[in-house]
Amino acid sequence: MARARRNFYRRVSKRKAPPKSFKVTCSRCGKELMMEVPAPPGKDLLCLDCYNK
Ligand SMILES: [Zn+2]
């Protein structure tokens, strides 16, 4: 299991995907934004607009 996971990440990092490719939703305004890393489950995420307020 752990081994398969490591292989998965290595394969992803080798791919030339656009850097911001994970879609997350702002927990305050509901706006969708793209992030370089997947959102950790159960964590509040804010877009830049809300974060700077
Ligand atoms: Zn927001």
| Cα(4) to centroid(ligand 1), Å | 35
* Cα 53 to ligand 1 centre (Å): 10
Q: What is the pTM of this model?
A: 0.53
In Å, how far are 1, 17, 25, 45, 51 from 29, measured between CA atoms? 37, 28, 8, 10, 11
Which residues face 35 on adjacent strands?
22
User: What's the pLDDT tens digit per position in 16-52?
Assistant: 655 668 888 999 999 998 888 887 888 888 988 999 9
Output the pLDDT for position 26: 92
Q: Which carries the bigger pLDDT value, residue 14 or residue 24? A: 24
Domain boundaries, the chain: 19-53
Ligand 1 centroid–CA 11 distance in Å is 32
pLDDT band, very low/low/confident/very high, at 15 (cuts 50, 70, 90): low
Amino acid of residue 19: P
Q: Report CA(25)–ligand 1 centroid distance (Å).
A: 8
More confident residue, 5 or 17: 5
Q: How far is the CA of 13 from the centre of ligand 1 (A)?
A: 28
